[in-house]
Amino acid sequence: MENGENEEKEKLILENKVKLKINALNVLENRYLKKDENCNVIESPEDLFYRVAENIAQADKIYDKHVNIGALIRKFYLSMSSLDFLPNSPTLMNAGRQLQQLSACFVLPIDDSMDSIFETLKNTALIHKSGGGTGFSFSRLRPKKDTVKTTSGVSSGPISFMQVFNAATEAIKQGGTRRGANMGILRVDHPDILDFIVCKDKNDSLNNFNISVAITKEFMSALENNGDYNLYNPRNSMVTGKLSAREVFDKIVYQAWKNGEPGIIFIDRINDYNPILKMDSIESTNPCGEQPLVPYESCNLGSVNLGNFVKDGDVNWRKLEETVKIATHFLDNVIDMNNYPVQKIQDVTCSNRKVGLGVMGWADMLFCLGIPYGSQNSIILAEKLMSFIQSKSHSASEKLAVERGAFPNFKQSIYVNGTPIRNATTTTIAPTGTIGIIASASGGIEPIFGLVYKRAHCLDDKEMYEINSHFEKLAKEKGFYSIELMDEIANEGSIHKCKGISDEIKRIFVTSHDISPEDHVRMQAAFQKFTDNAVSKTVNFNNSATKEDVRKVYVLSYEMGCKGVTVYRDGSRDKQVLNLVNKKEKKNKDVIPRTRPKKTTGSTFLMRTGCGKMYVTVNGDNIGACEVFTQLGKSGGCTSSQAEAVGRLISLSLRSGVDQQEIIDQLKGIRCPSPTIFDGGVILSCADAIAKALEAYNNERTIQTLSASEPKNSKNKERLYTSNPTDNLLGACPQCPECGEMLSFLESCATCHNCGYSKCF
């Protein structure tokens, strides 16, 4: 940098210092600011914003060699240093540095071949290393147990390869600053959809993936009509079977209620709004779901901080318009300055030039305007605001098209009969996690989680405590601020029960759990109406929410035009990013089992155990399974009494609200000295048999498996349990009753290679 330019930089920085809170400084120092070889910070926040502004401004020289770069650097710097606008994290981290990878969002294809799968895995590693997140659809992969002609073997299915991608992601630290994130999507009409829905049933499964089910119009039509829909083998597009849409939907709802996943995306609706008509269809989104992309496409995002655009009790529309124009220009420049990790990604990205300008600080703006989140006035303002941003960003993109040309695929796009535009899309609503902390802004379009809360797991499990600045300022102005009150708010999670606060203030300062799920969806739909891409939004539920509550939200989101939806029931995961401070522990209450219903329906399963035939009866009502009975050989005897005891304890647990899958997980796999092979599989013990009967019952409840002559609501019917032989032959090694070593199975016999014990079945 020449002396004159250096002086100009120093003057600009001196006159425009960045005002940051301690949490923002912590985040910048940990993730964004340059460090020397000893990990000492060698860059100030002002230096960071100038570095980014200077680097991104250079793209203008591609189109105008005589451009006044200094003036443009100043515009970009002032927008960022004032925290009016911030680009996505990779741009802040990498612009003007050696890596120079600036995009956050990528989608990669996975075709049904080993070459494609592992080529994509390689590209994923390059993207994660450079600071990006990846989205995949696994829907092209043939289902498990499908034929593989080249090897005369069978396919292991999409989920097995998701586990491979998950393990690879775990091994890669993104640019030394970010852990990789993935989106895994499977179409609802894929034959393995039932396994996919529960693939994150346990909180430690696929922990580098968010998962979503791609819902089709065919499925939604079947759901509306309470009918079946087709499953298609992606290898040959042949129909392989049918499932009840209602029962599959129930399973999605249950898992989302249980731990927040899977989310759903309405894949046909997304493609209906695909701006490029003649390209590949959109199959997936980025990890947070807000950016649908075609294969090999990337997108760079940025957000306007709405809390900075309130003046004299109204939106400062003039300032907002100017910032939107600058931000659109900035994001278009990022495309040219980006160092893409894969050449094909550069080719596809530059052919469409998608950018995604969104917002953060929406809840802050509502606080400043005195408008309750979720009220009709807030919905009206949301539509007006996002319509304004979309319109002004389109205008800015059209102006850039005059100066630089329309995006190369313009003639294949929905815009072909209109004014040329520089970017196929210009707007996206992202979650703005860390850049929201830098800007001290509420995240995206979300309501605030709590007026006093702790933010956990953002920086290597460190916790950061915050009080909402708008509320804190008002409390001090009105004279009701006190440490005791802040403690009370932290404990309650809301101000609605706090004394000494006016009803008007309580009406305005609502938190995520004060807002009805329906109003969460209405807000998302309001922003989606004027967003080119999609909207990242979580519908928050209290812990007491029911599965029916989740179902209503999923249906409502489809009816209101959303492109997808994610739900989260408070406390349904072991870890969550936002937690209330010192939240009151619930008093331990005696768990009282619910009364056995007068009428139950169920199934009786015949299980062959090493102790003889066991009949396991599982009954349930409209809530779920509620009792288990076992009968083992003749009545009496120690083994029979123990089996009866297990059944009684399971029944008690089920009626006390213990999750059925937890019971299965505890019992399944318990071994005894007398395992037995049954229908090609292994029953390891009586406890294992009961668990597998429960599992079979659970599958029956979820999916229609009975023929028309055997209606579901008929009296109990005996079922023959069929085990999956591959599940049991891999690792199901019972112990030798003589010496305790593991038995191996050879030609239908269990043999001990240590002492010679053998038992054939």
Catalytic residues: 286, 288, 290
Query: How far is Cα 385 from Cα 490, in angstroms, rounded to an integer?
Result: 32
How many other β-carbons are positioned within 10 Å of the β-carbon of residue 248? 26
Asked whether 532 and 426 are in contact (CB, 8 A), the reply is yes
Query: How far is Cα 730 from Cα 740, in angstroms, rounded to an integer?
Result: 19
Rounded to the nearest 10 degrees, what angle do helices 376-404 and 517-528 cross at? 30
Cα dihedral across residues 705, 710, 712, 714: positive or negative: negative
Vertex 316 angle, CA 60 and 85, to 5°:
40
Q: Which two tokens stand for residue 351?
A: 């052919």
Query: How far is Cα 114 from Cα 457, in angstroms, rounded to an integer?
Result: 36
Query: How far is Cα 289 from Cα 210, in angstroms, rounded to an integer?
Result: 9
What residues does 413 pair with on adjacent strands?
Answer: 276
Query: How far is Cα 688 from Cα 696, in angstroms, rounded to an integer?
Result: 12
Residue with tokens 């590693």: 125
Asked whether 289 and 210 are in contact (CB, 8 A), the reply is yes
C-alpha distances in angstroms, 579 versus 444, 514, 546?
Answer: 18, 15, 21
Three-state SS for 26? Answer: helix
How many other β-carbons are positioned within 10 Å of the β-carbon of residue 506? 16
Query: How far is Cα 188 from Cα 61, in angstroms, rounded to an integer?
Result: 48
- DSSP 8-state secondary structure symbol assigned to residue 513: G
Query: How far is Cα 555 from Cα 518, in angstroms, rounded to an integer?
Result: 11
Query: How far is Cα 405 from Cα 27, in angstroms, rounded to an integer?
Result: 38
Q: Which residues contact 120 (CB under 8 A, 6 or more apart)?
A: 108, 109, 110, 136
Asked whether 430 and 452 are in contact (CB, 8 A), the reply is no
DSSP 134-203: EEEE-TTSPPTT-EETTTTEE---HHHHHHHHHHHHHT-EETTTEE--EEEEEETTSTTHHHHHTTT-ST
Q: CA end-to-end span of the chain, whole Å?
A: 82
Three-state SS for 67? Answer: coil
What is the DSSP pairing of strand 238-244 with strand 228-233? antiparallel
Query: How far is Cα 452 from Cα 469, in angstroms, rounded to an integer?
Result: 10
Cα dihedral across residues 32, 37, 38, 42: positive or negative: negative
Query: How far is Cα 130 from Cα 139, in angstroms, rounded to an integer?
Result: 26
C-alpha distances in angstroms, 266 versus 188, 547, 561, 575?
Answer: 10, 20, 9, 28
How many other β-carbons are positioned within 10 Å of the β-carbon of residue 670? 15
Nearest C-alpha neighbor of 58 from the set 98, 90, 92, 96? 96
Query: How far is Cα 91 from Cα 193, in angstroms, rounded to an integer?
Result: 36
What is the DSSP pairing of strand 182-187 with strand 133-137? parallel
Q: Which two tokens stand for residue 610?
A: 């090493």
Nearest C-alpha neighbor of 248 from the set 702, 713, 565? 702
C-alpha distances in angstroms, 119 versus 112, 115, 707?
Answer: 12, 6, 44
Three-state SS for 350? Answer: helix
Q: Which two tokens stand for residue 639?
A: 């083994």
